A and B are shown apart, each in its own frame.
Chain A
Amino acid sequence: MAVLALWVELAAWLAGSARSAGGPDRWLYAIGFFFTLFPVLALVVYRWPLVFDLFRSVRVGVVNLIFVGLGAIGGVLWHQEDPNHPLPPDGMAVLLDPQRRSEKWTPATQAAWRQFDEFRNAHAYFTYKLLHGLGFHLLPGASPECTVDEAAIQRQLDLLRERLPELRDRFGEEFAAGLEANSARGLRTRAQLAEIGAFERSTGDFWWTLFVWSDRLDLIRVYRSEWYAALWAILFFGVLSNTFRGGWRRLLRPAKWGFAITHAGVLLVVVGAFWGRLAEERGMVELHVGETQGAFQLYRGGVAPFRTRPPLGLSEERPFALRLDGFRADYFDVLDVLYARQDAQGALDFEFPLDRQPKERLYPGQRLNYDYGPAWSGSGREREPWLRLEVLELYPKAEIRSRLRPAAPGEEGARPMSQIVVRGGGADAERILTHVSATEFDPLFEPPLVHGPSGTRVRCALAGDADEARRVLAQAVPSRYGRLRLSVPDGAGGGATVDVLPGERRQVEVAGATYEVEILSAVPRLRLESRPDGTMGAVTDTRPVERQVPDNPAVRVRLTGPGVAGKESWVLEQEFHPEARRIGGLELEFAWDRWSAPAAQRWILFQLPDGSVWSGLVGDPGSLQPLSPGTGRSLGDADLVLVQSSSRGSVDQVPVELAGVDFFYPAAPAARLRATTPEGQREFILNGAEGSPPEILRYAGPDGRERLVFLRLREDLDDLPLEWRSKLTVLEERPGPAGEAGAAGARRPRLEPVSSGEIRVNDYFVHGGYRFFQTNADARDPTYSGVGVVYDPGIETVLLGLYMLAGGVVAVFIVRPLLTRGKEA
């Protein structure tokens, strides 16, 4: 069996070399290949029964099964290279050449070294475990200092154990047990790693030699070697010849059904696997939201274009492209329970200096208990928690909405406010706005309500009487789209702010240097899309600027000055990366002016000292009219409604579950919790949005000391996500409209969507014979999605084989014994 496997390895090597070599060597390999095949061909032609008997032999079958097992054991005992990132031969060539090794390393060399490092670590770790299991307590090359000092560990654990009763009382038995187990394991692992590291360093040459020979003998890629494939091929023929031994009619007997199904399943698995091995393409396509790709990166190297692969080539192959329409990683919602203490100076610190403070994954109805002490509620139990938290409601996707109410007497922060809504055009806009005096109004701090379909802007103001209101309405609105601030990144030397008006050119002085800023365009909704040539371009919204909701405002500028010669760039209002805001040494910040930017109509709601509300159109003082809560007035193609108003208003935050939004809609969680302590009960809302303030609880603990607890709801970005999901669309070329003619007069093809689907881990999307599945993501880049691509025509055959194998085993081991037992009885 081993000889056969080695023979296949030799034949495959000769065939591969004949294909890749050039010149006379090629013929040498080809002749060698012919003579390697010759004996087998002769056997098959002249001694076919001998070949058949060989495969039919039970001994050969069992020995072969043992060899397959031994190959598998070899693969487990030897660190295997990642088949998706094979060891680069170029990198190995550099590492093997002492002269080239000192050159600057290419990525291939670095990858080869990384693989050697992983190989060395894995084997040193295994050696450590094996030798320690056999009673050797110091690896060669390791000094006694780096062995596990059990006494030192115990001393450290004793320190921990002193506080364990307190921690057990505060956070519960499981928390304390986990802390102790993890600390002991962590301390021991640290010592183990030190010893393994010393061992690796002292035996570095040995590992390198082993790695080089493992590479040469394919020991680091056992399962992809020809000799291992040969063993499976022999197994296939063995199973095939034995299954049909004695004629196929034998298999029709009910007693043989289980046997026949099981073995046919094994045969199908092997056939499907070989088919896949010959034809498969595996790789990945890296996409950003909105990006389209027509090819993917193969793991074995190179790029392969997407083209539909009809089964058995029954129809024509067509190229297609893949577009990422949406991506989102959803993380678990956790509650941080942070016990803090405050010193005499008022400084806060954690009460328990843990590496990781307790956190709980939340679900509705959950009860969390803390701070166990003597019973206080009369429950009859000996001990009970002094802080109980109950999750009353949990909204995985919530919006914290503001609710206006009259402020209580003496309540701080009360201000004149109105809740207004503009309805019409299929999209309502609702806001609670503060009435500010006309002279203090700044649209950047008090942005008005924007209603896109009607192009309406509404803001609130205070007025002493109706005449003053009319005077405000008569004032002209400055003409600008927004403001652009230019400064140096470190803040030295001051900055300059210019009004944004498309087509204008301004000279500004920043940090002693003069720059020229030209405003090329300003848009309220910027969308970028990849062009056929691979570059990104802005997609223009055909609606007038005033009818667009400014959800991604941007300005395109051309900057000229010291070190920057007429550089054009988009500056986004919502640009969070400082690097992306920089142009030629300057930092540019842009803010869209939601009041002064073009609008179809601007309305102001005035609150007068008597609490009455009046509304009027800017530029038309005669339009001023009183407006009662619950009533509205027509704006032409929309209605302005005053929901309520208060001269001393206060706003409550109410979580509202976002119903009807899909997975890709980015929204933070929210929860309503109830805290129970011996001092009473309290309900509160926690908002999971970034930057939301924590809820602070104070109560007296069982020891009489005051407890200070910070409760914070957040998405747990430190851990693995709950789910990743991508929305994909497949685009195929179709002839364009008759009007769009290319240079040769033919219709210019255009990409049109032909199918779409969502992928997530454990749920792939199939198109044209390809399987697309969620592979990776980048927490730093929320628009990136790594999509795995597999073309493997053998999968269906293998799956059928697996089902048959399982069914056959059930028939042999469960169904048949039950039936036989019945007959015996």
Chain B
Amino acid sequence: MEAFSYRSLLYLTMDLSFAAGLLGVLTTVGWFLTPLLRRRAAAAGAGDLEVVGRPMVGLRAGSWLLLALVALCFAVNLGAQFARYAEVRHWPAQTMYEVIPLGTTACFLSVVVLYFVLGLHRLQGVSRGFGDKFVAIILLGCGATIRYVLTLDPSGRPLPPALQSYWFPTHISAYVFGYFTLFIATLATWLFFAFRFWRGVLRPAEHSVPRKLLLSIGLFALVPVPFGWMGALMGPGILALTGAIALFSVRFLPQGLRWFDAWEAGADTFTWKIFMVGFPFLTAGLVQGALWAQEAWATYWGWDSKEVSALISWLFYAVYLHLRYVAGWRGERCMWILLFGGLSVYITFQLFGDLPASQSSLHRYTDSEVVPAEGLMRVSE
């Protein structure tokens, strides 16, 4: 394998992503341990600066290093895209082997942008730890995604006439950036609900959470299960992880789950800001798709199932937007729509090929199951 080939750079991105994710896990643990250190310092009568100061400096450096690694992941992943461009001689967005890493590139970029937009760099203590955990989950998810991509057919396919358009790179990139940013919004929303769930379960007296809400969150965790291992990780997996953190907080932290108060109060604004970044790209993808279809088939909207799937996602977010702007909805009610919007985006992006209406879609370029290819069957039989 050549040192600067697409595949080798993907391997490097995956390794970096996992390494950064593990660093995020370590800094998360570190930030969560700072209250314990403080308590120990207080008990020993030592100065706060003396006992906690040095680890705090290290943790802060670790958190910044985490961000630097995300930026490095972005740079290497982007480099991989350019390497692929040189290999296949077109914008690498035709097969899932190319589109998904384009998405992880967008994801790394989103994390860097959102880190500052959301003010994660200003947080301290356990809140900073929660922020690092958020980033770590995204990085580990990206690493796992690239690992999955490396099992796919890596052959470069020629670009069919319909895809040879100047809209091809911009339309797909806008959608992919929008999708992955909105995935991050979904993840933030789901983390919010998961912690709400555990607070209601572990501290019902302090934080009353309606039973209906608890049940709804529990059921929602099961919704992505039929979508394979990724769904299982995102649904019950995240719920279990947050459960472990909540249990640790309740058991060991002096303030229990109080650190979540600030997050709970700001969750709506936090997810809204992520949405504000992702939604214009989703709209741009939709509009560009219509303009492109008009050029290719003189039909700006052919009700193709992929187009409709994308429209459904857009409508979810349009409803979210209007309920916030016009009806003044805020908080939990609104965030449920974001959750279902994320689910719709996932179906459009990954599960579209299974839907009945997709069988005759004109958008099945990326689906290798259209024509099942069998390589060395004469040898293997």
Contact = CB atoms under 8 A, between A and B. Distances in A.
Is B truly associated with A?
yes
Given A72-B311, A75-B308, A133-B228, A809 B279 contact: yes
A126 B380 contact: no
Interface stretch (B14-22, B138-146, B182-190, B297-305): B297-305
A762 B296 contact: yes
A799 B294 contact: yes
A97 B213 CA distance: 53
Nearest first, the 5 A-B pairs at minimum CB distance are A133-B226, A186-B374, A179-B375, A189-B372, A790-B298
B351 to A, nearest CB: 8
A129 interface: yes
Contacts of B356: 76-79, 119, 122-123, 125-126
B378 to A, nearest CB: 4
Interface of B: 1, 5, 7, 89, 150-156, 158, 160-162, 164-165, 225-228, 276, 279-280, 283-284, 287, 290-292, 294-303, 305, 308-309, 311-312, 315-316, 318-319, 322-323, 326-327, 354-360, 368-369, 372-381
A724 interface: yes
A122 B353 CA distance: 10
Given A69-B319, A189-B372, A799-B291, A159 B380 contact: yes
Contact of A61 (B295, B322, B373, B378): B322
Contacts of B151: 177, 181
20 contacts: A61-B326, A69-B312, A76-B357, A76-B358, A118-B359, A163-B376, A173-B1, A177-B151, A181-B151, A182-B373, A185-B369, A185-B372, A352-B379, A354-B376, A720-B158, A761-B161, A762-B165, A773-B296, A806-B283, A813-B280
B316 A69 contact: yes
Nearest to B87: A174
DSSP majority for the A interface?
helix
Given A62-B322, A69-B316, A764-B295, A187 B374 contact: yes
B346 to A, nearest CB: 13
B168 to A, nearest CB: 9
Given A129-B354, A806-B284, A76 B309 contact: yes
Nearest to A82: B360
Interface string A753-765: 0000000111110
B164 A762 contact: yes
Contact of A118 (B296, B299, B360): B360
A476 interface: no
Interface in A54-77: 58-59, 61-62, 65-66, 68-69, 72-73, 75-77
A194 interface: no
B228 to A, nearest CB: 7
A44 B11 CA distance: 66
A190 interface: yes
Contacts of A353: 376, 378-379
Contact of B160 (A79, A118, A720): A720
Contacts of B153: 177-178, 181-182, 185
A223 B318 CA distance: 20
A189 B367 CA distance: 13
B308 A186 contact: no
Nearest to B164: A762
Given A160-B379, A760-B161, A122 B359 contact: yes
Contact of A121 (B228, B308, B359, B380): B359
Contacts of B369: 185, 189
A159 B379 CA distance: 7
Given A69-B319, A185-B372, A79 B359 contact: yes
B162 A809 contact: no
A132 B284 CA distance: 35
B295 A179 contact: no
Nearest to B1: A173
A82 B362 CA distance: 11
Contact of B377 (A163, A186, A332, A805): A186
B375 A183 contact: yes
A733 B137 CA distance: 70
A802 interface: yes
Contact of A795 (B292, B294, B355, B372): B294
A218 to B, nearest CB: 13
A258 to B, nearest CB: 11
Nearest to B327: A58
A83 B303 contact: yes
Given A72-B308, A73-B312, A809-B283, A78 B368 contact: no
A355 B284 contact: no
Contacts of A774: 161
Contact of B298 (A82, A167, A792): A792
Contacts of A186: 372-375, 377
B158 A361 contact: yes
Interface string A289-306: 000000000000000000
Interface in A720-736: 720-724
Contact of B283 (A356, A720, A722, A805): A805
Contacts of A773: 296-298
A187 B380 CA distance: 10
Contacts of B311: 72
Name the residue in B226, B299, B301, B358 with the highest tally of chain A Cβ atoms < 10 Å from its Cβ.
B299
Given A177-B154, A764-B295, A805-B283, A156 B380 contact: yes
Name the residue in B89, B298, B301 with the highest tally of chain A Cβ atoms < 10 Å from its Cβ.
B298
Contacts of B303: 75, 80, 83, 223
B357 A77 contact: yes
A69 B315 contact: yes
Contacts of B368: 182, 185
Name the residue in B165, B291, B309, B357 with the highest tally of chain A Cβ atoms < 10 Å from its Cβ.
B357
A723 B159 CA distance: 10
Contact of A764 (B228, B298, B300, B359): B298
Interface in A278-298: 282
B296 A802 contact: no
A566 B226 CA distance: 73
A157 interface: yes
A724 B290 CA distance: 22
Nearest to A155: B380
A355 B372 CA distance: 12
Nearest to B348: A76
A719 B379 contact: no
A160 to B, nearest CB: 5
Given A80-B303, A159-B380, A182-B373, 19 more contacts: A58-B326, A69-B319, A76-B308, A80-B305, A156-B380, A167-B376, A175-B155, A181-B154, A186-B373, A189-B369, A355-B377, A361-B156, A724-B161, A764-B298, A773-B296, A798-B294, A798-B300, A813-B279, A813-B280
A130 B296 CA distance: 34
Given A174-B155, A806-B284, A720 B161 contact: yes
A782 interface: no
Given A762-B296, A795-B294, A160 B376 contact: yes
B225 to A, nearest CB: 8
Contacts of B284: 806, 809
Contacts of A798: 290, 294, 300-301
Given A762-B295, A806-B283, A160 B7 contact: no
A356 B153 CA distance: 14
B198 to A, nearest CB: 26
Nearest to A168: B1
Contact of A79 (B298, B302, B357, B379): B357
Contacts of A80: 303, 305, 357, 360
A788 interface: yes
A762 B298 CA distance: 9
Given A72-B315, A79-B359, A795 B300 contact: yes
Given A66-B319, A174-B154, A353-B379, A771 B355 contact: no
Contact of A763 (B287, B295, B374): B295
Contact of A182 (B162, B326, B358, B375): B375
